[in-house]
């Protein structure tokens, strides 16, 4: 083998190494935004998307930290004679570039959906065999976020398929948050850290407390249980994704929506709302824009909260370490009855400190839903927690 051949092989190897990466510096905290699927499914068009961007600003959600407007499946209808993906010319008559420009002008970011298979889950053209071509199109349109599904993949291997799309996005040279959505079927938390910025850990979330459907969809509390053990895999730049929020979609009560939002925040899950932002009730708006709960989610330490203990299988204590040696705790009542707590901080100090938390009897206890200090760790925390509700506090000096 001559030197020229060796040099070519070496350059090819270097090229592979340099290109085999995702965009760094994105999703340092869990992404926040909105996705069309839970509320609208295939009923999407540019008018509604523009209105949703308007509502994200006017509702205060943008000020609270939400930034991505993501169109899920059904925006695409075909490929042209050159294989280019074609947006629905009736529903998106202005084109995706114009829509992206509108969203960007609002100070927001724009996301789209595609699929690693030959077709999307709704039978629209998928990305298989067109990854680099599609990535160039997304970059030219000004896309900031790509959700990539895994329907109609035949014998494709998930890790390989997602790496191909990752490399295509990187070569297109526009920083795009890459959302892996293969429903946790290949344990992406074990391989996706260098591939995407978030990865689904479960099947689809349903608009209910604990229901199940035959194809695998389930209520948010069951999703919660599946995502909870995976905290060691999450951190800045790569997050466990237990799916889009169902808060505000009409079946969950306001109490259940509050608990759902709180626990997604504690788990450092992406906060992607899935309701109609144009017609939120005041209660739902208050839930989704609670900056003190959002601050737990967006804490720069990037630790996923976890279930610390369960009492009688009914009331759970969740805990999340925060920057500046603060600690968040959430008492979650999964039962159908009011549960009273009388929490002795002194009894648990040694255990908390053993978990590297720096808890002393001088810390303030702030209720993050009442938005006020309710005591200190020098006295027991006493409260009555309503069915399906949470008591969420932050300890700080």
CATH code of residue 335 = 2.60.40.1180
Among 262, 297, 332, give the residue marking a domain's end: 297
- Active-site positions read 149, 204
Residues 286 and 317 in one domain: no
The count of structural domains within the chain is 2
CA dist 212 → 183, 215, 220, 357 (Å): 15, 9, 10, 37
More confident position, 98 or 6: 98
Residues 186 and 52 in one domain: yes
Q: What is the pLDDT of residues 10-31, one digit of tens each?
A: 433 444 444 468 899 999 999 9
More confident position, 288 or 354: 288
Which token pair is 47?
Answer: 């008018």
Q: CA-CA distance, 150 to 119, in Å (whole number)?
A: 9
- The residue written with tokens 């992607």 in the block is 272
Among 297, 321, 352, give the residue marking a domain's end: 297
Range of the domain at 54: 27-297
Per-residue model confidence (pLDDT) at position 12: 39
Residues 286 and 322 in one domain: no
User: How far is CA 232 from its chain centroid?
Assistant: 16
Residues 354 and 285 in one domain: no
Residues 196 and 175 in one domain: yes
What are the counts of helices (DSSP H) followed by strands (DSSP E) for the chain?
12, 18
Residues 275 and 387 in one domain: no
Q: Which of 1-5, 73-77, 185-189 has the lowest mean pLDDT?
A: 1-5
Residues 244 and 268 in one domain: yes
More confident position, 311 or 290: 290
CA dist 390 → 73, 289, 301 (Å): 34, 17, 23
Residues 333 and 274 in one domain: no
Residues 240 and 151 in one domain: yes
Per-residue model confidence (pLDDT) at position 14: 40
Q: Give the list of residues 6+ apart from residue 358 with CB closer than 8 angstroms, or none.
A: 325
Q: What is the pLDDT of residues 244-253, one digit of tens each?
A: 999 999 899 9
Looking at the chain, list the stretches that DSSP marks H as alpha helix, in order from N- to C-terminal side. Answer: 3-19, 37-40, 46-58, 61-64, 96-105, 131-141, 158-172, 220-227, 254-266, 282-288, 291-297, 345-354
């Amino acid at each position: 083998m001559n030197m020229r051949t060796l040099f070519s092989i070496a350059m090819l190897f270097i090229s592979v190494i340099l290109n085999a990466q995702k965009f760094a510096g994105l999703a340092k905290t869990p992404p926040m935004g909105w996705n069309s699927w839970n509320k609208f499914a295939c009923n999407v068009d540019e008018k509604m998307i523009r209105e949703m961007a308007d509502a994200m600003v006017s509702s205060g959600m943008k000020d609270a930290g939400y930034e991505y407007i993501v169109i899920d499946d059904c925006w695409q209808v075909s490929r042209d004679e050159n294989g280019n993906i074609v947006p629905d010319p009736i529903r998106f008559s202005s084109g995706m570039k114009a829509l992206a420009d509108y969203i960007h002008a609002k100070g927001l970011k724009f996301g789209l959906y595609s699929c690693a298979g030959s077709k999307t889950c709704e039978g629209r053209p998928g990305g298989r065999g067109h990854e680099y071509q599609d990535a160039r199109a997304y970059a030219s349109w000004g896309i900031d976020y790509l959700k990539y599904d895994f329907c109609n993949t035949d014998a494709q291997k998930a890790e390989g398929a997602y790496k191909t799309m990752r490399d295509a996005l990187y070569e297109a040279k526009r920083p795009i948050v890459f959302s892996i959505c293969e429903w946790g079927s290949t344990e992406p938390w074990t391989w996706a850290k260098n591939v995407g910025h978030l990865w689904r850990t479960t099947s689809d979330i349903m608009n209910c407390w604990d229901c199940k459907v035959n194809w695998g969809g389930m209520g948010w509390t069951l999703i919660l249980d599946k995502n909870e053990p995976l905290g060691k895999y999450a951190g800045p730049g790569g997050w466990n994704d237990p799916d889009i929020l169902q808060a505000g979609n009409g079946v969950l009560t306001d109490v259940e929506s509050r608990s759902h939002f709180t626990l997604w925040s504690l788990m450092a899950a992406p906060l992607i709302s899935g309701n109609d932002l144009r017609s939120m009730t005041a209660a739902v708006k208050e839930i989704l824009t609670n900056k003190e709960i959002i601050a737990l989610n967006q804490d720069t330490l990037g630790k996923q909260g976890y279930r610390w203990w369960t009492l009688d299988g009914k009331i759970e204590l969740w805990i999340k370490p925060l920057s500046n040696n603060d600690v968040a705790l959430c008492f979650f009542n999964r039962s159908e009855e009011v549960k009273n707590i009388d929490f002795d901080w002194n009894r648990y100090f040694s255990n908390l400190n053993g978990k590297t938390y720096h808890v002393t009897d001088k810390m303030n206890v702030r209720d993050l839903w009442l938005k006020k200090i309710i005591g200190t760790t020098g006295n027991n925390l006493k409260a009555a927690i309503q069915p399906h509700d949470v008591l969420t506090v932050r300890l700080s000096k």
